[in-house]
Amino acid sequence: MAASEPSAAEDTSQPMPSPPHADAEMQLTLTHHGNPIEFTLAFDATIADLSTLIAEDLSIPPSNQKLMVTPKLGLLKPPFRDPSLPLSSLVNKKIVLMGSTAAEISSLDAAILTSQSRSSRRGGRPGDSASPVKATTPTRRRDWKKDQEEATYTFTTLRPLPYLPKPERSLRFLERLRDDAGIKASMRKHKWTVPLLTEMNPAEHTTRESRTLGLNRNGGEVIELRLRTDAYDGYRDYKVIRKTLCHEMAHNVWGEHDRNFWDLCKEIEIEVERGDWRSGGHALSEQEFYNPEDSGMDEDCADHGGWTGGEFVLGGSGSEPAVSNAGGVVGAGSLSRREILARAAEERMRKQRQLSPDGGGSTSES
């Protein structure tokens, strides 16, 4: 039996969607200051209509409006390149509104006027237009000669005792002494380079009669300082340690405690105080670098004169790090006198190359 043909009255096609009515509406959501805001607009509304609605409902003038539409479209702001862009094409996109309201702008203007008024009352004369921002001053040129001298006349290597508790704290103490403005000024003046500055173990330099606070070995090859308290529970007062360092630096020239030595020691102390514009700097923390019972060197013995001869040996396995003046890390094992001097010369030359304006190092200022 042949298949029958469909009659003309039968309609086998799918119904076509009818266009929206003229009064149809749609919901559009955008985000402002992190809060979602929903607008109801006509289905045939454009991006220009949305801008007008934002100005009326949110009090954000068109000049302050920015719409970030993602994905694809990007940043849109009045006057739009295509003001007739239909909003129906943005219904499924994320829209972020950026812009300040008229009230926010007024509040900011009032705050600026208040700040200018306060500045004028503090330092300006009546009728002067005071600015809340001070005029900038030209940056001082870098003193390359001073930088090179400070790289040369300094403590080339700093090394705490690795077998005592928390050697990193002692290292920070030694760095503070090395970078003390007064110490740096005195060493530049006298052209002193000390290959090694290290800490002293209190237990090895304490007797019933005295407590040694510092040692200078071989006329400035090694300086040891007593940083810790006898009980190893803290650190001695910074200014006492710095005064001890002045004493030991005088032994770079004079070994015996004669008049020449004391005159030079006093001279160094005055230079350090005068050169330190921070009047002794600031303590890192009271617990770390402060001992209330540490009143000075009156009851102690700074040293027994300059020490000459022999080899300086620092205890340890050689695996503990120490810091050089040029930023390098060197081992903290046993060092002979020859090794100390050789490493000091290497670090000094490396630092000079880094600071040379036409050398291989960086010459930019941070």
Which residues have a catalytic role annotated? 248
With beta carbons less than 8 A apart as the criterion, state whether 317 and 264 touch.
no
- DSSP SS3 for 267: helix
CB count within 10 Å of CB 227 equals 26
Cα 351 to Cα 359: distance, rounded to the nearest angstrom: 11
Closest CA to 331 of 159, 94, 134, 96: 159
Q: Which two tokens stand for residue 244?
A: 């001890």
Q: Which helix (H) or strand (E) holds 144?
A: helix 144-152
Cα 283 to Cα 287: distance, rounded to the nearest angstrom: 10
Place of tokens 């200022």: 365
Cα 19 to Cα 1: distance, rounded to the nearest angstrom: 44
Q: Is 36 exposed, middle or buried (0-12, 13-18, 19+ CB in 10 A)?
A: exposed
- DSSP SS3 for 279: coil
The DSSP bridge partners found for residue 76 are 67
Q: Which two tokens stand for residue 159?
A: 């090394």
The DSSP bridge partners found for residue 31 are 36, 96
The DSSP bridge partners found for residue 228 are 235
Cα 248 to Cα 303: distance, rounded to the nearest angstrom: 8
**Whole-number Cα distances in Å, 172 to 158, 179, 222, 323:** 10, 10, 18, 10
CB count within 10 Å of CB 59 equals 14
